[in-house]
Amino acid sequence: MTRRLSHASARKRGFSLLEMLVALVILSFSLGALYQGATAAIRNVAIADEYTRAVILAESMLASTHHVAQEQLSLTGTFDIFSWEANSWPVQSALDASQQLPVRAPPLQHLKVIVRWPGGSTDRQIVLSTVVPLQEQPE
């Protein structure tokens, strides 16, 4: 009986090699999943940063354009990784020719800004638009 007690107490001292291997396999799978999750989170933050910068660029272009100087305006340009395009076209009036307003308002133009940038397998883009008055420059 003494021999049984010593064998049972020796078994409680540590882990077997098989138990250690199973623990290492579980740990490696867990770390792999955590690494993939962290990589995806970093990629999502980078994409969100690009979208934020594109929106700021488009909003600043719309905010700086209080009016357009000509009908059918078309401008293009680049900034950092972004390429942008601004277009305007006339707003169709809801009033018919017989209705007159008490004050003559300047004609209105739709103004659309498109910002594009490379991203992954396809280019990304955002589109913002507003309505601004048409103010022709004095000659």
What string of pLDDT tens digits covers the 139 residues of the chain?
555 555 555 556 788 999 999 999 999 999 999 999 999 999 999 999 999 999 999 999 998 888 888 888 899 999 999 999 999 999 887 665 556 666 677 788 999 999 999 987 899 999 999 999 988 655 5
The pLDDT value given to residue 41 = 96
The pLDDT value given to residue 68 = 85
Per domain, the residue ranges of the chain are 15-92+105-133
Structure token digits, residue 98: 């017989």
Q: Which CATH architecture group holds 15-92+105-133?
A: Single Sheet (2.20)
Query: How many Å separate Cα 54 from the centre of its chain?
Result: 8
Structure token digits, residue 48: 């969100």
The pLDDT value given to residue 105 = 72
96: three-class secondary structure by DSSP: coil
The pLDDT value given to residue 107 = 86
Distances (CA, A) of 32 to 37, 45, 96, 136: 9, 20, 68, 63
The pLDDT value given to residue 95 = 63
Match 């103004």 to its residue by tokens.
111
